[in-house]
Structure 1
Amino acid sequence: MKTATLILLSLTTVLNSCATHTPESYYTRTTQSTDILWGFGSTNVKSFIEFRDAGNLVAVQNNRKVKTISLQQHIQTFLIPAIDSSITQIEELKPTPETQDLINTSLQLYHFAKDTYVNEYLSAAQLIDAKENSEKIDEILLQLDRERVPEFKKIYIKLMQLSIPYAKQHDLTISRF
């Protein structure tokens, strides 16, 4: 009986330690992973056009990256799933009093970005892929920058205000600040 109790106690300790996240994993998942959102807004959409024109735009088909000329396909199969994956990884983190705001703000940023990708980005991409009137495209991009980018920046700044002190407190390398 004593042996069974010790084995059960050891197994419980091992399983609990596997579920514990390090400060580095909190920082990496909530903050460093936001690199995929860099250039949010019309700058981002314009970079997709440049990648397409250079033959470097990718989509995912059958779990493999393939080249594409469709901005819609790039957004739907590559970017939105990457955001979904980041959201899942953040949601897997166990909130602590120290990390609760960091997690919530990061999730807020990712959900805001995903909503923008699903709506504004895909609307612009559809027009671009269809080679619609450039004035119409420019208006959508201007609207994106006017209506969505300020809120994105506000949330992003809040995330940085939370994550930089957290990283410094835990002696983590802050690579882009």
Structure 2
Amino acid sequence: MTELLHAWAIAPAAIGACCLAADRGRARWPDAVASALMLAAMLDAVLTRLVAPVYWAAALIATAMVLAAASSPRRRGVPSRPRGGMTVHTALGLVAMAALQLGMAHGAASGPLSGQVSTHAHGGSGGPLLATAAVVGAVAYAVLSAGLLTRSHRALDRVQLACMGVSVLLMAAGALV
């Protein structure tokens, strides 16, 4: 059941990444890189487990910080961008995915190099408190996504917002199972 929820979470994330790539009207390569990183972390968590969740979480948090710093309106010489809401949403999505990676930590013995098939262990090293905090954060992120969705006027932005909110909620449901 957990693997099915993870697979279902990958589908909307991939659709959202495609919508971001299809948005040729506005160059948003930092958001595209962030989306690709989130998708890679999700795919690794479901399929290969080559990279430990803590490393994915660190990479996601570092990317969120770089994205936030690069899009800061306080930077001199850079005019404030009208798409700041989408950039904030992407940065918070990185943080939510990092928390879910840690909250749903896989056991070290379940990797592909262990030579054995094992079940998908949730909360293995993070404990129930971390998993609960990740689920609460995921719900808050979904509420933010819904709020931005109601104010968005572009179809590609709406699809991306909906896809990321659904993807995070599905991963959070996987943390509960």
Q: Which has the higher strand share?
A: 1
What TM-score, normalized to structure 2?
0.41
What TM-score, normalized to structure 1?
0.41
Higher relative contact order (CA 8 A, sep 6+): 2
